[in-house]
Amino acid sequence: MALLEVLLPQPQTADNVEILQINEVGWNLRGDRFYLTTGSGSIKLMDDEQTEAAMSVVGHTASAYCLDVDPTGRYIATGGSDALTAIWDERTFSCVRTIDSDK
C-alpha cells in the first residue's frame, strides 16, 4: 500500500497548509466522482471537476486504509486500523452499517 502526501490547492501560508495522507482512491461506477481514504480516518468524496472535497465524513477513529465500491454501485465499504468495516450508501454518503472485526 502506497502512502501519498498531498498539499490541498490554496494559497500557502503557515496557517492554511494541510498535509493529507491518502491511503486509497476509488471511482464510482459513473466515473464522475471518486473517494479517498485518509490517515485521519476520514472518507472524502471528490467531484472530478472540483479541487476540494464535495463532502467529507469521519469514518474511522484511526487511519482509513481501504475502500471498494460494490458491483451495483449502491454501497461503498471502507476499512480502517480501528478494526471496523463501514458500509456507506453511495447516494447519501451516510453509514448504513459497521462490522467490528474484533468480534
pLDDT in tens, 12-65: 555 555 568 999 999 988 888 899 999 999 999 888 777 778 888 888 999 999
Domain assignment of residue 40, yes or no: yes
Domain count, the chain: 1
Domain assignment of residue 10, yes or no: no
CA–CA separation, 26 vs 14, rounded Å?
31
Least confident of 2-16, 24-38, 88-102: 2-16
CATH number of the domain that 91 lies in? 2.40.10.480
Domain assignment of residue 1, yes or no: no
Q: What is the pTM of this model?
A: 0.75
- The larger pLDDT score, comparing residue 19 to residue 99, is at 99
Residue 10 is predicted with a pLDDT of: 52
